[in-house]
């Protein structure tokens, strides 16, 4: 049994990670800036605290006494949020910097940083028929402005704290993680959840149409949360000191993703395109050669299967919110 701290535990991935670590028998501390009633999941067996991890003293308080630290804390959201809040996204650099200092000073054995596929060079993502991105494609650097630059800088901080101070750091580049217990409205939601919500709203209101950002031809790979958590635990326990892709290699267009959700819902909607809305790069996919060679594993959940689980959860949440007159997001375990 280890004493493990999860930062950003009130978020989507963080909540799932806390549960996985508890299931493995570890003693888990959970920290987030949000009040616990706003967390995506709240686990009774974890020690849950509200702290602002942009503050150095808060990071020192949070890390003290823990063997390992997982940093999933960041001010972020979907493409609409990160394109319109670049400064807020970059301020997350304070979180990772102060947590690394605390890990060094408190003697934490291992440190995990959740990076993003947004670090990859934009010139390599101009075509919807994109060549899958290898870990080397982050350089020469031309990441997503704001959010991507913060992630790339923080990756380097992890590397140098490992080299200079002996903080054993592991870095994952997540590719569009989705699944149950995530944000699906409010402006920070990502494409899979947003599309599920829009389809459910269209069915409920009888207005059989859906707005799609861009022309729908842009492509992505989407990683189911269970695969994300498994890959994270493998990476944290392994010997790979370089950033590593954790992402599905199943490429789909946004139009194709809408089609999958329509099929799940049993509906066909008229599509209204919004070419002026944020849409990100034209194409992005994960090359999994490296993770397969190291661990004999890669994300394997089919997009159709993961989206059905996601759709059913969001549908149930929206129905419950409608009955209660409010959104109820916290789930006790």
- Residues with active-site annotation: 147
| Beta-strand pair 244-246/168-174 | parallel
CA distances, 313 to each of 104, 192, 305, 329 (Å) = 40, 12, 13, 11
DSSP 33: S
Helix (H) and strand (E) counts in the chain: 11, 13
Judge whether 143 and 151 are in contact, CB under 8 Å: yes
58-83 residues labelled b (16+ CB within 10 A) or e (exposed):
bbbebbeebbbbbbbbbbbbbbbbbb
In the structure encoding, which two tokens stand for residue 1, read together?
A: 């049994």
**What whole-number distance in Å separates Cα of residue 192 and Cα of residue 199?**
11
**Total number of residues shown for the chain:** 333
Judge whether 205 and 265 are in contact, CB under 8 Å: no
Residue 184 φ then ψ, to 5°: -125, 0
**What whole-number distance in Å separates Cα of residue 200 and Cα of residue 297?**
34
In the structure encoding, which two tokens stand for residue 185, read together?
A: 């409205």
DSSP 113-133: EEEEGGGS-GGGG-SSSPPPB
**What whole-number distance in Å separates Cα of residue 247 and Cα of residue 242?**
16
Q: Which residue has the tokens 């599509």?
A: 271
């Amino acid at each position: 049994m280890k004493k493990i701290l999860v930062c950003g535990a009130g978020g989507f991935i963080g909540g799932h990670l806390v549960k996985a670590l508890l299931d493995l028998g570890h003693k888990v501390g959970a920290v987030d800036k949000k009040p616990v009633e706003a967390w995506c999941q709240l686990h009774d067996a974890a020690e849950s605290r509200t702290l602002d991890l942009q503050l150095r003293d808060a990071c020192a308080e949070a890390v003290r006494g823990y063997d390992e630290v997982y940093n999933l804390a960041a001010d972020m959201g979907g493409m609409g949020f990160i394109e319109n809040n670049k400064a807020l996204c970059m301020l997350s650099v304070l979180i990772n910097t102060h947590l690394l200092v605390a890990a060094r000073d408190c003697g934490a054995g291992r440190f995990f940083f959740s990076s993003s596929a947004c670090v990859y060079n934009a010139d390599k993502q101009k075509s919807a028929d994109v060549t899958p991105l290898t870990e080397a494609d982050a350089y020469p650097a031309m990441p997503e402005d704001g959010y991507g630059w913060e992630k790339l800088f923080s990756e380097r901080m992890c590397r140098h704290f490992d080299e200079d101070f002996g903080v054993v750091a592991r870095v994952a580049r997540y590719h569009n993680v989705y699944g149950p217990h995530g944000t699906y409205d409010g402006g920070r939601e990502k494409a899979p959840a947003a599309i599920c919500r829009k389809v459910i709203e269209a069915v409920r209101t009888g207005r059989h149409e859906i707005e799609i950002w861009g022309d729908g031809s842009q492509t992505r790979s989407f990683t189911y949360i269970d695969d994300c958590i498994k890959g994270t635990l493998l990476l944290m326990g392994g010997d790979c000191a370089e950033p590593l892709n954790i992402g599905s290699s199943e490429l789909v267009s946004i139009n194709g993703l809408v089609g999958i959700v329509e099929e799940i819902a049993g509906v066909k909607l008229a599509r209204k395109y919004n070419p002026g809305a944020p849409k990100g790069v034209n194409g992005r996919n994960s090359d999994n050669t490296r993770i397969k060679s190291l661990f004999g594993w890669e994300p394997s959940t089919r997009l159709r299967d993961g989206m059905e689980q996601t759709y059913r959860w969001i549908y149930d949440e929206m129905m419950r919110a409608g009955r209660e007159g409010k959104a109820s997001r916290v789930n006790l375990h």
